[in-house]
């Protein structure tokens, strides 16, 4: 058993971003123009709807960026508007805490300001100032943009300040 | 300007997982044993607290898996328990919809069952059955585990069913 488990190999780590139907195609185009992501493939038929499901517009697209992949998908089974839902949440918890739910995506680049500018040109909104050593990226300059689909992206300079691994 | 923007290059895409203090070290150890992630570095001092902040226990650790990196960080500025908070949310929306907020992480592997078994041995909990062609991974076998820190991971066979990119 232990021997079998030791053989488990993962070939990819892919963040998956759910986007409200029918905005998935827009989102794919946004991530291309804002971040320079390349589309590796898309499907309009996964998963095949089962008898108890009614999912006519499922689309998932795989995007590649900086040697990693992420997936954009929409899901008619999600009945709510993410922005409206987050607004409702803010009744119960301050807005800035909401980002801690789930995970954020950090993009590393040598030119944080140019990257933010390009993302804003594509439709993202800047969140706060670019700070030095802030965020959870282990150092460097860190800015934030929120994309039109509700996701916050950290734009960071490379994390070369991480300390050595402790024993 | 357009020329400058075209030069923006990203060197990494790093999902960032917030873990409630003081569980970040446990989480790092979990991701090593459950998924075979390798620790590339950690820091106990980022960001330096500002005058208006009181962040004594910030820790972020960078983990590497399948050629990609992700970051685990804790944050004393997050006052809530994630599980409690999600329980409260479930008053307003069915539990299974909560996963659509933020993003999920998909791990690709040729042996979904062995990967799930290894994760469970490390402390993860299986969510539902392994399905064929389900999830947002564009095909293959898909299972789900929830880790002890509240994050759901899709464990999928490689997504070789993605269709060609549409024009």
- Whether A62 is in a domain gets the answer yes
Pairing of the two strands B141-146 and B152-156: antiparallel
Q: At B58, list the tokens.
A: 């910030």
- Say whether both A69 and A113 belong to one domain: no
Q: Looking at the domain assignment, is residue B93 inside a domain?
A: no
Which of B45 and B14 is assigned the larger pLDDT?
A: B14
Provide the shortest C-alpha distance from residue A126 to chain B (in Å): 16
Query: Do A71 and A151 form a contact (C-beta atoms < 8 A)?
Result: no
CA B112 to chain centre: 17
Residue B165: per-residue pLDDT: 45
For residues A57 and A112, membership in a common domain is answered with no
- Give the C-alpha separation, A135 to A119, whole Å: 19
Question: Is there a single domain that holds both residue A158 and residue A117?
Answer: yes
Are residues A21 and A52 located together in one domain of the fold? yes
Report whether pLDDT(A22) > 90: no
Query: Are B72 and B20 members of one domain?
Result: yes
| Domains contained in chain B, number | 2
Question: In this predicted structure, what is the pLDDT of residue A133?
Answer: 65
Question: Is residue B64 located within the same domain as residue B109?
Answer: no
B26 part of contact set with chain A, CB < 8 Å? no
> Is some CB atom of chain A closer than 8 A to the CB atom of B123?
no
B84–chain A Cβ distance below 8 A for any pair: no
Give the count of Cβ contacts less than 8 A between chain A and B: 272
Does residue B110 sit in the same domain as residue B145? yes
Boundary-marking domain end, from B48, B79, B110? B79
Contacts of A63 in chain B (CB under 8 A): none
Q: Can you tell me the distance from the alpha carbon of B151 to that of B132, in angstroms, rounded to the nearest whole number?
A: 22
The pLDDT value recorded for residue A158 is 83
The H or E element spanning position A16 is: strand A10-19
Q: Which two tokens stand for residue B39?
A: 């620790």
Please give the structure tokens belonging to residue A21: 């139907």
In a domain, B107, yes or no: yes
Indicate whether B69 and B117 sit together in one domain: no
Cα distances (Å, whole numbers) of residue B133 to A25, A70, B124: 21, 18, 22
Torsion angles phi and psi, residue A129, rounded to 5: -90, 160
Please give the Cα distance from A61 to A82 (Å, whole number): 20
Segment A116-136 mean pLDDT:
85
Question: Who among A101, A114, A138 is closest to B5 (CB)?
Answer: A114
Q: Are residues A111 and A155 in the same domain?
A: yes
Query: Would you say residue A89 lies in a domain?
Result: no
Q: What is the residue range of B156's domain?
A: 102-166
Of A44, A79, A114, the last residue of a domain is A79
A95 found inside a domain: no
Please indicate, yes or no, if residue A149 is contained in any of the structural domains: yes
Amino acid B37: pLDDT? 96
- Distance, in Å, from the CA atom of A125 to the CA atom of B37, rounded to the nearest integer, reads 33
pLDDT in tens, B16-61: 888 877 788 889 999 999 999 999 887 764 444 455 554 445 578 8
Asked whether residue A8 is assigned to any structural domain, the reply reads no
pLDDT computed for residue A139 by the predictor:
61
Six-digit token pair at A150?
């509700």
Q: DSSP states of A23-37 as a string? A: -HHHHHHHHHHHH--
- pLDDT digit string (tens) for A39-66? 988 776 444 445 555 444 557 888 999 9
* Lowest-pLDDT choice from A96-110, B4-18, B94-108: B94-108
Domain at B33, CATH number: 3.10.180.10
Instruction: Tell me the residues of chain A between 102 and 121 that have a Cβ less than 8 Å away from chain B.
Output: 102-111, 114-115, 117-118, 121
Q: A5-9, A143-147, B77-81, B144-148: lowest mean pLDDT where?
A: B77-81
Are B41 and A138 spatial neighbours (Cβ–Cβ below 8 Å)? yes
Distance from CA of A81 to the nearest CA of B (A): 10
CA distance B22 to chain A (A): 15
- Decide: helix, strand or coil at residue A117: helix
Residues of chain A contacting B103 with CB distance shorter than 8 Å: 15-18, 102-103, 105, 151
> Do B58 and B111 reside in the same domain of the chain?
no
- Report chain B's mean pLDDT, rounded to a whole number: 73
* Residue B143 resides in a domain: yes
Tokens of B121: 């041995």
């Amino acid at each position: 058993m232990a021997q079998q488990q030791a053989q488990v190999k993962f070939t990819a780590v892919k963040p998956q971003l759910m986007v409200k139907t029918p905005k998935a195609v827009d989102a794919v185009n946004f991530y291309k123009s804002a971040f320079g992501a390349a589309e590796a493939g898309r499907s309009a038929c996964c998963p095949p709807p089962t008898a108890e499901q009614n999912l006519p517009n499922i689309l998932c697209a795989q995007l590649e960026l900086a040697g990693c992949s992420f997936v954009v998908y929409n899901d008619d089974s999600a009945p709510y508007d993410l922005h409206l839902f987050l607004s409702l949440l803010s009744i119960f918890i301050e807005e800035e805490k909401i980002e801690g739910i789930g995970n954020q995506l950090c993009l590393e680049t040598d030119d944080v300001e140019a990257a933010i500018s390009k993302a804003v040109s594509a439709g993202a909104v800047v969140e706060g100032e670019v700070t030095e050593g802030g965020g959870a990226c282990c150092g460097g300059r860190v800015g934030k943009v929120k994309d039109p689909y509700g996701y916050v992206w950290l734009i960071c300079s490379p994390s070369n300040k991480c300390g050595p691994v402790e024993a």
